[in-house]
A and B are shown apart, each in its own frame.
Chain A
Amino acid sequence: MGFKHNKKRNVGLISEFFSRYIAGAFIDGRHNDIATARKIWEKHLHPKSETYKEFVLFNALYESNLKSKEVAYSLLNRAKDVCKNQSQEVLDSEKAALINEVKATLKDKDFFDRPVSNFKTFATVQVLMNAWRGIGFKGDIADLATLEESVLEHMCTPKATNSLENEAEKLTTSEIDSLVVKLMTEKLNKRYENLLSETQRRMLQLYVFSQNDTEKKASLVSLLEDLKTRTLKSVKSPVLTESLDRTVKTKLQEVVKLLEESSYSNILENLGDDLIAFYMTIAKLTEEVESKSE
């Protein structure tokens, strides 16, 4: 049995490529790319387009979860009738425009190379639809019947629902961790972008990863040690103390005492949430003290 299959023109696969592209953009926080991809999809697969009609037929065949082979056969025949009436010329031209816009706008050379599980079934469904319209299929009527039988089998095969729970179970712990960290980092940066200084952000970043990464832990300790030394030097500077009133000076002395206390000065031994919270505020103080703005 001979047939030609082009993954870039497989409407089911195109939908999968878009889904994967958008999911990747979401994790990376590329919101503009998400909007652009959605725009392209909506432009080329609007309900009046031939490609959209083909997509509906594709889904009817691919997503069906039927118990009765008779019902599946009836559905297959109806799909065949609709499919035969589709204009191959219009489909080709619409898909060419879609592929060109994806390439020109999204500029992602891997867009059509994303791995898709069940690729073979996706290909079979599209090849069958093409064959009904008389293109890309070089087999005889028996081969076509075999192809139809294969899709029929798929339509009657019980399918696992792709719930979020099922998908999540497939992920490994490290994949989940990495996803959670990415999402949390993005949320944190967005919410606190105007509130946290560069030092504070760096401190948090190192602290989050310091548990399992000795290098990051060492960097964090070094950052905090430097901050402590810098703060002690700044708050004791005569230029600063001249510009502050007595109440603030007295309070600063209390801060110096705290910095010299073992619970805050022995950084490595006391590394934890409380110590980080303390040094986050110390970072803020140091920035104010060193600020040139009066």
Chain B
Amino acid sequence: MKLLKEWKDFDYEILKEDTLADGRPGKLFVKGVIQRADTLNQNGRIYPKDVLLREVENYKKVVVERRAMGELDHADDPVVNLKNVSHLISDIWVEGNVVLGKIEILPTPMGNIARSLIESNVKLGISSRALGSVRSHGDADVVQDDLHLICWDLVSEPSTPGAFMMREAKEVDPKVLQKIFSKSDRVDRAVNEILGIKKGQV
């Protein structure tokens, strides 16, 4: 099982809440496409639609529970480091082959940096972090059924656009899944699969 990170340019729409009565700035949200299915991405990988949709469905529980945190900049660990958290995905949905997200920028040290960058119109990228395996299919690596989505991070643009910059993936012990996902998450994932079969989605 490998740590799969995907870089993607992030074209976002800024949604800003009004300044609060005590003068503190209102919440800042960005909204846009955070991942694409069935498309060869910039890292040479393809996420089959059924696999990605299943993961989004599983991730919705994390979103509802306000645990869908992400870090500012690339992380090399499957566990989200709270010190580096900059944002929270507050809504996630699928339209056709694209996954869209509404991202709340948090008033954390890293969140404040992200906010400044966004308010300064800095071009950011978005990078998914997941555990799973891939199989080569021609020039592409197709992500397999064992995918476990962890989070999306806000990152800078790659220095070599168009290159397969994150194709090399770090090997990770599958036991780490027990650390990342709570029992409730794991039960929810299993239940989603059963109900997906019933609805003919799997």
| A291 partner residues in chain B, CB cutoff 8 A | 183, 186
User: How far, in angstroms, from A254 to B187 measured CA to CA in the complex?
Assistant: 13
Say how far B138's CB is from chain A's closest CB, in angstroms.
20
Whether the Cβ atoms of B146 and A195 lie closer than 8 Å is yes
Interface string of B170-184 (1 = CB under 8 A from A): 000010001000111
Interface size on B, residues (CB 8 A): 24
User: How far, in angstroms, from A134 to B194 measured CA to CA in the complex?
Assistant: 77
| A288 partner residues in chain B, CB cutoff 8 A | 183, 186-187, 189-190
Say how far B171's CB is from chain A's closest CB, in angstroms.
13
Quick one: given A194-B174, A293-B178, are A251 and B188 in contact (CB under 8 Å)? yes
User: How far, in angstroms, from A282 to B191 measured CA to CA in the complex?
Assistant: 8
Quick one: given A255-B195, A294-B182, are A281 and B174 in contact (CB under 8 Å)? no
Whether the Cβ atoms of B183 and A255 lie closer than 8 Å is no
Whether the Cβ atoms of A282 and B194 lie closer than 8 Å is yes
Whether the Cβ atoms of B197 and A285 lie closer than 8 Å is no
**A183 sits at the interface (CB 8 A):** no
Whether the Cβ atoms of B183 and A285 lie closer than 8 Å is no
User: How far, in angstroms, from A288 to B182 measured CA to CA in the complex?
Assistant: 10
Say how far B126's CB is from chain A's closest CB, in angstroms.
26
Say how far B157's CB is from chain A's closest CB, in angstroms.
35
Say how far A191's CB is from chain B's closest CB, in angstroms.
9
A194 in complex: contacting residue of B1, B61, B184, B195, CB < 8 Å: B1
User: How far, in angstroms, from A258 to B197 measured CA to CA in the complex?
Assistant: 11
- 8 interchain pairs, CB-CB under 8 A: A194-B1, A243-B184, A248-B191, A251-B195, A277-B197, A278-B194, A284-B190, A288-B183
- Pick the 3 closest A-B CB pairs, nearest first: A285-B190, A251-B191, A288-B186
